[in-house]
Amino acid sequence: MSTVELTYLNAILEAEKEEMQRDPRVILIGEDIALYSASGALGKLDPRRTWNAPISELGFSGMAIGAAITGLRPIVDLTIASFVYLASDQIINQAAKLRYVTGGQVRVPVVFRMSMWHNGANAAQHSDRPYPMFMNVPGLKVIAPATPSDMKGMLKSAIRDDDPVIVFEDNDLWGRKEAVPADPDFLVPLGKAAVRCEGTDVSIVSVAGCLPHALAAAGQLAREDISAEVIDVRSLVPLDAATILASVAKTGRLVVVDYAHRTAGAAAEIAAIVAEEAFAELRAPIQRVTTPDVQIPFSPKLERPLYPNKDKITAAARKAVLSGEERGSWPVKSYFRSGAWESTKARS
C-alpha cells in the first residue's frame, strides 16, 4: 500500500476531504470552517457542503443532528473540547437517544470533532479532557486516536458509521508526522486497541495523547531491564477489553495512563474491568497515572506538572514491578489458583 507523510492535523483534513469526495452526503459544519475551505485544504467542493457556523455550539450541533436524521452525514467541528459542554444537550438527549426512542427507525450518522489543549496556558475553561463523561452515555461511540494513521483511518470509519461518534484529538499531536496509507478506502475499525510494543513484565495502557509519553517510558524501562508492553486503546467506546486483559494475563501488572482527571476517568474504568475480570492474574496492585482533580491553571509552571509524563509512568511501572517481586506471586493469585476461592464460595 502506498503511503504519504502526513502530520496528525493533515491526516484529519485528508480524511474529511476524501470522505466528502467519496460521498456527496458528507457535509462540514463548524466555526471558522470558511477558513479551511478558502485555503483549499478540503479540495474543490460545493460551497453548500461547508457551513460556517456562528458561535452557538448548541444551535449548530442540533442542526447537524437534524441533517443526519434526514439523510446527510455531517462532521461537526467543535474546535476546543471544552465547548462540547454547550452542545451536550443535543448530543446526549438527541443524538445518543433518537435511535432508541424511535425503535431503530431513525439513524443519526453524525461525527463531532473536538481538540483537547495541553500545556498551552489556555486556562481552566479551555483545557478539559471531557471524554469520560461521554463514555457514560449509551448510544455514543467515543474515539481518541493518537497517531496520524489512526486519526485518518478512524475518522473515516466514524464518518461512515450509522451511529453518532465523538472524536477527541490532542492538539499537541497535531505536528507529529507518520507515513499514512494513501488509499482512500483505508479504514481503521472502531473498538480495537493497538499493541504498540510488546513486553512481558508490565502492561502500560495509554489513553489518547498519552501514547508518546508511554512509549518513552517503555524505552527507559527497557534500559533498566524491565520489559513493558504498551497498548494504545484508540477507542474508548466500544473499548477493546480483550486486548487489555490478554496483556495483563501475560505480564501480571497494569499501569493505566490517562490525561483526564483521576475520579471516574477512563483509567478508572479500565482498572475496574481488569480488577473484575483478571484479578487472579495480577501480581501487583494496579497503578493509575492521571491528572489530579483540580482545575487547570493558566500558569505554564503550574499546569505542566499536572499531566502524565515519561517520568511519572516510569515510576508507576517500577512500583508495579518491584511490589510484585516483593510480594512474590502476590497472595491473591495463589489464593485463587489454589482452589481456596472455590472452597470459600462453597462454604458460603
Provide the annotated active-site residues. 57, 126
Residues in the chain: 348
- Least Cα distance to 62 among 95, 85, 27 occurs for 95
Burial (Cβ within 10 Å: 0-12, 13-18, ≥19) of residue 314: buried
The rounded distance, in Å, linking the Cα atoms of 283 and 78 is 43
- Least Cα distance to 204 among 181, 227, 187 occurs for 227
Q: In this structure, what is the dihedral angle of CA atoms 325, 330, 331, 336, given to the nearest 10 degrees?
A: -140
The rounded distance, in Å, linking the Cα atoms of 321 and 319 is 6
Residues facing 141 on adjacent strands: 165
User: 171 and 117 in contact (C-beta within 8 Å)?
Assistant: yes
The rounded distance, in Å, linking the Cα atoms of 261 and 306 is 10
- Least Cα distance to 164 among 185, 143, 150 occurs for 143
